[in-house]
A and B are shown apart, each in its own frame.
Chain A
Amino acid sequence: MEHEQKGIVLTEEQRRRRQRRSIALALVLALLALLFYVVTIVKLGPQVMNRPL
């Protein structure tokens, strides 16, 4: 049975742009996570490991 398409249907160009936006967002989030990790090490130094288990 054929499904009728409903709602907004993106063109090929719109799909490509959405994909580029998603990739950019993923890269930004990954770099942010890396930055937080490095800054934590820099600010706390070896003390980051020195905590009760």
Chain B
Amino acid sequence: MSLVTDTLSADRAEAVARAQAQPGLADVADYLALLKPRVMSLVVFTALVGLVRAGGDLHPVLAFTALLCIAIGAGAAGALNMWWDADIDAKMARTRGRPVPAGRIAPGEALAFGLVLAVAAVTMLGLFVGALAAALLAFTIFFYAVVYTMWLKRWTAQNIVIGGAAGALPPVIAWASATGTIGLESLVLFLIVFFWTPPHFWALALLRSDDYARAGVPMLPVVAGADETRRQILLYAAILAPLGVAPAWLGFAGMLYGLVAAALGVAFLALAFEVYRRRRGESAAAAARRLFAFSILYLFLLFAALLIEAMMR
């Protein structure tokens, strides 16, 4: 209860006051921003790959509906995250322009928007596609909005490690949409995104640790220091590189994917090692920036290779 009381504090009251003082300021773009479109694009892409790899005999219209519901569900989780985190967002340079801390949308509006979209996405997926997929989508939204946003994010430096499960579930939801089951291949895709998340976010956190410290978010660089973060980035990269090749080892994917995944894994590991080695000054920041940028390309190319292979079959 104290967590609730603390969070509904002066910062949020200020955000409400700002939004009420400027009625009607929200534009369509502000509501779209609440959906975290960049995160959504990653979610949709990994889900699309899960859907295509699963095969099955799902009608294309229902496949599109499944992707739409997963996208809306991800957007709903983003809106609920922005509602709860308005006080933190207001303190960080990267996020203070978001619609709620900037006062263009009142926190209550963001909450209502997120809840309506979450209920709509889960209901539509359940009625049109399948119960298992809908249950997984509901769990994902709950995990991101409640377990990660309300609990883990402000409590532990392992926040994005455990919370990363929410971002890794979309291929599993898509797989369940196509087949009605959870296949081993979808779990391997889950693990790839799950182990990709910490080095991706910690590379960014190394660059923004002052921001996180000011907002009181216990990210790993703030709590354990930059050097420990660099060590853990290298550790996760060492797990991720062979895991990325696993679909080829396990026989799910072919030679093309295996080669692409191996090359990308080596590059990821090399950049993580650079982050580990360069610890001071501008070269350290440049190494973290390179790893962060490459991590996005890594995941995109890995899943694109899976998609291309499936389409060539």
Chain A residues engaging chain B, CB cutoff 8 angstroms:
8, 10, 14-15, 17-18, 20-21, 24, 35, 38-39, 42-43
Would you call A39 and B62 a contact (CB within 8 A)? yes
Would you call A20 and B65 a contact (CB within 8 A)? no
Please, how many angstroms separate the alpha-carbon atoms of A18 and B25 in the complex?
8
Set of chain B residues within 8 Å of A21, measured between Cβ atoms? 26-28, 31
Set of chain A residues within 8 Å of B280, measured between Cβ atoms? none
Which B residues between 16 and 33 are near A, CB-CB below 8 angstroms? Answer: 23-28, 31
Would you call A14 and B24 a contact (CB within 8 A)? yes
Would you call B61 and A39 a contact (CB within 8 A)? yes
Would you call B28 and A24 a contact (CB within 8 A)? yes
Please, how many angstroms separate the alpha-carbon atoms of A42 and B63 in the complex?
11
Nearest to A20 among chain B residues (CB) is B28
Would you call B128 and A17 a contact (CB within 8 A)? no
Please, how many angstroms separate the alpha-carbon atoms of A2 and B26 in the complex?
32
- B38 within 8 Å of A by Cβ? no
Of the A-B pairs whose beta carbons lie under 8 Å apart in the complex, a sample of 5, sorted by A's number, is: A17-B26, A20-B28, A21-B27, A21-B31, A38-B61
Tally inter-chain residue pairs, CB-CB below 8 A: 32
Q: Which of A10, A17, A42 contacts B61 (CB 8 A)?
A: A42
Would you call B23 and A43 a contact (CB within 8 A)? no
Set of chain A residues within 8 Å of B68, measured between Cβ atoms? 35
Set of chain B residues within 8 Å of A14, measured between Cβ atoms? 23-25
Set of chain B residues within 8 Å of A24, measured between Cβ atoms? 28, 31
Nearest to A40 among chain B residues (CB) is B128
Q: Which of A8, A17, A35 contacts B65 (CB 8 A)?
A: A35
Please, how many angstroms separate the alpha-carbon atoms of A20 and B24 in the complex?
11
Would you call A18 and B61 a contact (CB within 8 A)? no
Set of chain A residues within 8 Å of B24, measured between Cβ atoms? 10, 14-15, 17-18
From residue A18, how far is it (CB to closest CB) to chain B in Å? Answer: 5
From residue A42, how far is it (CB to closest CB) to chain B in Å? Answer: 5
From residue B269, how far is it (CB to closest CB) to chain A in Å? Answer: 44
Q: What 3 pairs between A and B have smallest CB-CB spacing? A: A14-B24, A24-B28, A42-B61
Set of chain A residues within 8 Å of B28, measured between Cβ atoms? 20-21, 24
From residue A53, how far is it (CB to closest CB) to chain B in Å? Answer: 26
Q: A39-B128, A43-B128 are known contacts. Are A17 and B62 too (CB-CB below 8 A)?
A: no
Please, how many angstroms separate the alpha-carbon atoms of A20 and B30 in the complex?
12
Would you call B23 and A20 a contact (CB within 8 A)? no
From residue A28, how far is it (CB to closest CB) to chain B in Å? Answer: 10
Please, how many angstroms separate the alpha-carbon atoms of A20 and B27 in the complex?
7
Set of chain A residues within 8 Å of B94, measured between Cβ atoms? none
Nearest to B129 among chain A residues (CB) is A39
Set of chain B residues within 8 Å of A18, measured between Cβ atoms? 24
Please, how many angstroms separate the alpha-carbon atoms of A45 and B16 in the complex?
49
Set of chain B residues within 8 Å of A15, measured between Cβ atoms? 24
Please, how many angstroms separate the alpha-carbon atoms of A43 and B26 in the complex?
38
- Most B CB contacts (10 A, CB to CB) among A14, A20, A35, A39 go to A39
- B59 within 8 Å of A by Cβ? yes
Please, how many angstroms separate the alpha-carbon atoms of A44 and B309 in the complex?
33
Q: A20-B28, A21-B28, A24-B28 are known contacts. Are A39 and B23 too (CB-CB below 8 A)?
A: no
Nearest to B62 among chain A residues (CB) is A42
- Most A CB contacts (10 A, CB to CB) among B24, B26, B61, B65 go to B24
